Structure 1
Amino acid sequence: MGKIVLPLRRLLLVTIVMPVVLTGCSPASDDNKEISPATPSAGSKGEVSADTVGVVDGKSISRAELTQRLLSSYGSDTLREIMLHEAVNREAAKLGLTVSAQELEQELKSMMEGYEGEAQFYAVMQKQLGLDKEAVREDAKYRLLVEKLATRDVQITEQQIAGYYKQHEGDYSSRRQFELAWIVTSSKAEANDVLSQLEQGTDFGTLAGEYSTDEMTAETGGYLGWVDENDSFQDPRVLQAASQLNVGEIAGPVKIDAGYAVVQLKGTQTTDGQPLSAVREEIRRQLAMQQAVPIRELERRLLSKYGAKVLDPRLSSAVDR
């Protein structure tokens, strides 16, 4: 289903941790304060400390405890991401590197491939990663800046671009695509139960939310999006099953590595071939990244150049890696 880029997950750490940390902590003496089991529920008038974020069997969980857990689990990664964004922005400004509106829109368009449209893409980003539209756009802009910094001294010739296109011409020719949805179950018996309910008229998306063990698609009705008939990232057994279906039909159980799948073919299409002129910049970027300094090394250099230091010993690994 489209391209969910890894840095989005890294950005999610900032989204999760920082709002909690920045609100501050209460003194440690307030941690685990005992309260009455009869403590009123949220919204009623009860004697609950403003620092209490949860209650289990009458025992309070303080904001300080939550913050400490978040810092322990995500603090170093989150701090590193904040430092990297600052260092990258400073270096880009120093070198006069920017991301144009056109470049950003093209990157987002690429990320949306495989989704039904822009609305579904942003809805999935919000539901699965907790990122709103602005956060997704900011992350895409940041990644483009990192790419420009990494490749600014790399020169790619027209001959190299043409050679790559010729070598991978099959990737740019017209190809058949399937629009798929699936429900993944841990057992064949459960998959058969799903099929039985589908035969009785139960909605596919509803069953996906109830039964599917694939967390990435369960909450979106099992929707996988548009995939090439020979997509190397999809299980060939699923693609084979889809190739035998008419639009609207369902196949299964299909044995896959994660268990068993019930597959629905929602649509088919044949994409137009792409001439070299249409993919020249895409190929140039790809070749440039292959020759560029590794991103991890670039990050290390930038943190060092701009004097990144961690003042909290609990978060020392944010830089020392």
Structure 2
Amino acid sequence: MSKKLLFSIIVVLLITNVATMLFWKNDQTETPVVDDEKIDTKKPVATIDGEKVSYGDWMKSLQDNYGKKELKNIIDHQVVEKLADDHNITISDKVIERDIALLTTMQGLTSKEDLQKLEESWRSDILYRYQLEALLAEGNQISEQEVQTYYTKYHEQYQFDKSLQFSHILVSTMDTAEKVYAELEDGASFSLLAKEYSIDEDTREGGGYLGFNSVNTEFLPSNYFDIAAELEEYSYSEPFVTSNGIAILYLHKSLPDITFNYEELKPFIRNELALKSSNQKLVAEPLWEKLDINWLYGE
């Protein structure tokens, strides 16, 4: 894997880790969000043995610890969005979908609803990253030959192979499999049934979870992919015979092939090479001088 591609993936993961943490933080029902309209700024926001914590103290602490970083983040995103619009910089949906697919394969079991929320956050951050890269790369001359050479050497690393996220319950006999299937039809948990019945010691304690698998994998029976072709996402199969026993397969997520030709990848490779040649970090601050920006922490 090229160092630049690895760096790009790391950046995606860093951005995504922050987004994911914010998502889970905001999704915790145990900690309700206080409506600003219900906060009386003249009253303490907390008391400890009669010692008051004022609204002003709270706001100052938030500003001192998070204010500058968060405000800079807001400005960075708005600067990139405005300049990208001014320069007519667009990012193909196909590239964004490839990165979303890559990030999806790095998730564990995630509900359909939660994954949709994550994808929305990822999409925004991925668009920002590619637009930022394009803006920073402007003016750096990279020859067609350099781009072609890089593409020839590394183009396979930009492709995404079809990948399916599976769980399974593997049992010894069809009678047992039909019993398990009947319980599934009655609404029983697939994961709990896997822990109770499955003879696959490697996956049983994890509820039968097999993770994401490429169609080229040698670790699963080939007919798993034939069975999966008939399934909708977040659904399970009827019992079927495999080389290891009788299986019931659960398809969580199916991600399609995403492939690129030279013309599709050329602008992105050129931007990567431009940033590498200029030793440019992927930060938005150098772009601030292109706009009239005044902010609380200085010019």
Normalising by structure 1, what TM-score? 0.47
Normalising by structure 2, what TM-score? 0.49
